[in-house]
Structure 1
Amino acid sequence: GISQMLLEYQYIEAIKEYFSNEKFDMVLYATPPITFEKVIRYVKKRDLAKSYLLLKDIFPQNAVDLNLIKNNGPIYHFFRRKEKKLYQISDYIGCMSPKNVEYLLNHNSIDPIKVEINPNSIELNNLEYRNSNEIDNRKKQFRNKYRILDEQTIFIYGGNLGKPQGVDFLLEFLKKTNKEKSFFVIVGSGTEAKKVSNFVMDNHLTNVLFLNRVSRDEYNEIEVCSDVGLIFLDRRFSIPNIPSRLLGYMEKGLPVIAATDRSTDLKEMIESGGFGKWSEHGDVDELADNIELLYNSELRRKMGDKSYEFLKDHFHVQNSYNIIMKHFS
C-alpha cells in the first residue's frame, strides 16, 4: 500500500528529470495500479496530451471480493477515490469485454461515450505451433524429459498463484484426477506458490509437475508441448475479468478449460468460439467432466483450431492499435 502511494510521486520526479525536453501526445496506461492519476494529470497539463486507460482489473473492489480489505473501510475509501479520479482524468477507457463495460458504467459516473471494448491482445508469432514434425519432436522430448506417458493428456496452468485464482479449489481437484489419463504442469509464482509446492510433495502427486520460476522461453516451450490450457478465478469475484494468460494458450492452438466466477463473460466467449469448456469455480464434478471430455484427442484438435482462429479474429494487437488510434488520427 505504501509503495502504491509513493509510486506516482516517483514517476513525476523521474519524468521531470529524464523527459523535461520531451513532449508526449498520448499517455497510455493500464490498471493495476490505479495510483497514476497525478502522473497522467501532470503530463496532460504540461504537454496537452490525450490519455487512454486500458482497464485490466478493477481495484479496490477485487480486493473486497476476496476479503483482503473491508468494504467501506478507510483503506477502501482511499483507493476508491483514487480509482474515480483515474477514470475522470482518462479521455478514453478501453475495457476487456462487454460485461467489463457494463460493470464500469453501472458503478461509476462516467460518460459512456469515452468507454469502449478494447480486449487483451497479442502480437502473433509466425511459427505454426501445430501439425509439424518439428513440434511433434519437441513434444516427444518434453514427455521423455518429465516421464509423461503417451496416453496422458497434458494440462497446463501458467501464471500467478495467488488469492484471485482460488488455489485451494485447484488443489482439491488435483487429488481426485485420473492419474493414468492426465498430467498437470503448474508454472507460476505468487503468495500461494509455496502451498501448491508443498501440497504436491506431501500428497505424492506423481501426475503433477510444479515449476516455480522459469524463463519466458522455457514457459513458451512448455505451452507448445501441452495439450490443454487451464484458467482459474475465485468464485467470489463480482467484477468481470478476462485473464491475459488465455491468449498464450490460444496462440499455441490449445483448447481452454476455465473454472471461474459467474461475473465474467469468459464463459460466453469460450462457448461462442467453441474453443473450450467452462464450469463454475468450486464445482469439482463439472470440472472433472470437462477434463474427461478433453481426453479425446480429436476433440482437442478441433477446439484447438477454433482457439487459434478466435485469437486471430478478436485478439490481434493490430485490432487494439486501430481501436486506440482512431481517436487520434
Structure 2
Amino acid sequence: MKIVYLHQYFEKDKGGTRSYEIAKKLVAEGHQVTVITGNEVSSCEGITIISTKTPYRQEYGYLRRILSFLIYMLKSLFYALLEKDIDIVYATSTPLTVGLVGKWVASIKKCAFVFEVRDLWPDVPIQLGIIKNHFLIKILYRIESGIYNKADKIIALSEGMKIDIIQKGIHPNRIEVITNFADINRFKAISITDQIRLYTKYPQLQNKFISLYAGTIGFVNHIDYILKLAESTTHDKILYVIVGDGKEKPRLMREAKLAKLTNVLFLDAVSKAEAQTLMTMSDVGMCFVRDKEILNRNSQNKLFDFWAAGKPTLINYKGWQDEVMREFKAGQGFDYENLDDLRLYLENLSIHKKHYKEVQQQVVQLATQYKKEDLLDRLNDILQNINKERATLL
C-alpha cells in the first residue's frame, strides 16, 4: 500500500513519537509511507518526509496558532495532491484542519481516509473556554461532523473518546481504539551508565524520592497542580521535578520562587532519550490536567512511558486510566479536588518501600496490555483490511 500520513507536529526524537513509530512499522511491513509535516524533519528509515516548513510553538498566542494551522492545511493539501497512486490517507489530529486535508485528498484521489483522534476537537477547547464565539463553534462542529462522516475508519486513542464519537452519531463499527504505546523494550535498554550521566548532570536528583513530570508546560497540562502539591508536602525526601518548556513555564518558575518551594526543580527540555532515562530514574510519574470532565478521556503518551518504565503514576482525574490502574492494583486516579488524598498516597509510597514495590510490580503487568509491538500489529491489520475492503468495492 501507499500511505500518505498527515501530521503537523511529526517528531522522531523528541516529544510524542507515535506517528514515527507507526510510520516505521508500516515501512517494515512493506508499505510505502510519505509523511507530510509542518516540522523540519529529514527522511529516515525508509519513510519519505515532506516538510511544509510551518513554524509552530507552544508559546504562540491563539491567533498565531490559527495562522500556523491554516498555512499547514494549504501547503499539506498541495503536497498531498502531488502524490500518485495513494491507497490510504491517514490524518492525525490535532488540529482539526488536518482532518479537512485528509477528507479533501481522499475525495480527489479516490482513496481511503483514516482519521486518528488524539484529542476531542473542538470539544476540548470549547469546554476549556478557549473558543467562545458561537458562530465559530458552529462552524467547527460542522467541520468535525464532515470529517467523521467521510472517514472510512476512525482511530480513537481511548474508549472514552470512542464513546463520545458514537454519541455524535457515528456507528461503532467505524471506530477502532488504538491507545498510545508502552515501549517496554526501549526502557529495558536504558543502562546504569545512562542514568549515572544524568545524575552527574543533575546532582540535585541524588538521594531523593523523585516525582517527575516530563513534557509540555502548557495551559491544559496544569503544572500549577504540582506547585500546590509541593506546597502541602512536608516530607523532605520528595522532590518534584518538572522537565520541559512551554508558555506557562516562566510564570510557574516565578511562583515557585516566591513561594520558596525548595522541593520543586525545573529542568530545561531534553531529548526523547534523556526524558526516558529520567523516567527510569524517577520513583513516581505525574500526569495532571485541568478540572474539566472532557479531559478524562485523554491518552497522554507520558503516562504510557511511565508505565513502560514500571513507575506508579499520579493522575488528578478519573476515567478509563483510573479504572485500569485499579483493576491491576497498579495505583489509582484521584478526583481533582482531592489533592490532600493524592499527597498522602504519594507520601505513603515514598515511606513504605514494600508497598511501593508491590504497586511497581503491578504497573509492569499493566504495561504489557499496551505493548507497542502488539498495538502496531493491530493497526497494520486494520489498515490492510480497509485497503482490501475498498478494493472489493471498486
User: With structure 1 as the length reference, what TM-score do the two structures score?
Assistant: 0.87
**Matching residue of 1:293:** 348
Q: Which stretch of structure 1 is more off in the superposition, 276-285 or 318-327?
A: 318-327
How far off its partner does 1:172 sit? 1.7
Q: Report the 3-state secondary structure (helix = DSSP H, G, I; strand = E; otherwise coil) of the residue aligned with 1:229.
A: strand
User: Superposed, which structure 2 residues align to 1:180-329 within 5 Å?
Assistant: 180-239=236-295, 240-260=297-317, 262=318, 264-295=319-350, 296-326=352-382, 328-329=384-385
**Matching residue of 2:229:** 173
Q: How large is the RMSD of aligned CA atoms in angstroms?
A: 2.5
Report whether the alignment pairs 1:51 with 2:113. yes
Amino acid at match of 1:282: E
Cα distance change on mapping 1:141 and 1:192 into 2, 3 Å: closer
Report whether the alignment pairs 1:119 with 2:200. no
Could you tell me which runs of 5 or more consecutive residues in structure 1 were left unpaired when the two chains were aligned: none
* Aligned sequence identity (%): 20
Report whether the alignment pairs 1:82 with 2:143. yes
What is the number of equivalent residue pairs in this alignment?
318
Cα distance change on mapping 1:243 and 1:157 into 2, 3 Å: same
1: CA distance, partners of 2:259 / 2:343: 19
Amino acid at match of 1:109: G
Q: Which stretch of structure 1 is more off in the superposition, 26-35 or 237-246?
A: 237-246
Q: Which residue among 75, 82, 85 is the counterpart of 1:10?
A: 75
2: CA distance, partners of 1:178 / 1:219: 27
1:54, 1:93 within 8 Å by CA — same for their partners in 2?
Answer: yes
Could you tell me which runs of 5 or more consecutive residues in structure 2 were left unpaired when the two chains were aligned: 1-65, 386-394
**Matching residue of 2:158:** 97
Report whether the alignment pairs 1:27 with 2:89. yes
1:158, 1:245 within 8 Å by CA — same for their partners in 2?
Answer: yes
Q: Which stretch of structure 1 is more off in the superposition, 43-52 or 97-106?
A: 43-52
Q: Which stretch of structure 1 is more off in the superposition, 35-44 or 215-224?
A: 35-44
1: CA distance, partners of 2:384 / 2:198: 49
How far off its partner does 1:328 sit? 2.2
Cα distance change on mapping 1:24 and 1:302 into 2, 3 Å: farther
2: CA distance, partners of 1:297 / 1:12: 55
Cα distance change on mapping 1:51 and 1:28 into 2, 3 Å: same
2: CA distance, partners of 1:179 / 1:149: 16
How far off its partner does 1:213 sit? 1.9
2:114, 2:153 within 8 Å by CA — same for their partners in 1?
Answer: yes
1:92, 1:114 within 8 Å by CA — same for their partners in 2?
Answer: yes
Cα distance change on mapping 1:85 and 1:143 into 2, 3 Å: same
How far off its partner does 1:205 sit? 2.1
2: CA distance, partners of 1:95 / 1:177: 37
**Matching residue of 1:162:** 218
2: CA distance, partners of 1:267 / 1:65: 22
Deviations, residues 164-218 of structure 1 (Å, cap 9, x unaligned): 1233332222111124130111012222111222122222322211013222232
**Matching residue of 1:128:** 188
User: With structure 2 as the length reference, what TM-score do the two structures score?
Assistant: 0.73
Amino acid at match of 1:243: Q
How far off its partner does 1:35 sit? 0.7
Deviations, residues 24-65 of structure 1 (Å, cap 9, x unaligned): 212222221111244223332344322222211001211122
Cα distance change on mapping 1:290 and 1:269 into 2, 3 Å: same
Q: Report the 3-state secondary structure (helix = DSSP H, G, I; strand = E; otherwise coil) of the residue aligned with 1:110.
A: coil
Q: Report the 3-state secondary structure (helix = DSSP H, G, I; strand = E; otherwise coil) of the residue aligned with 2:269.
A: coil
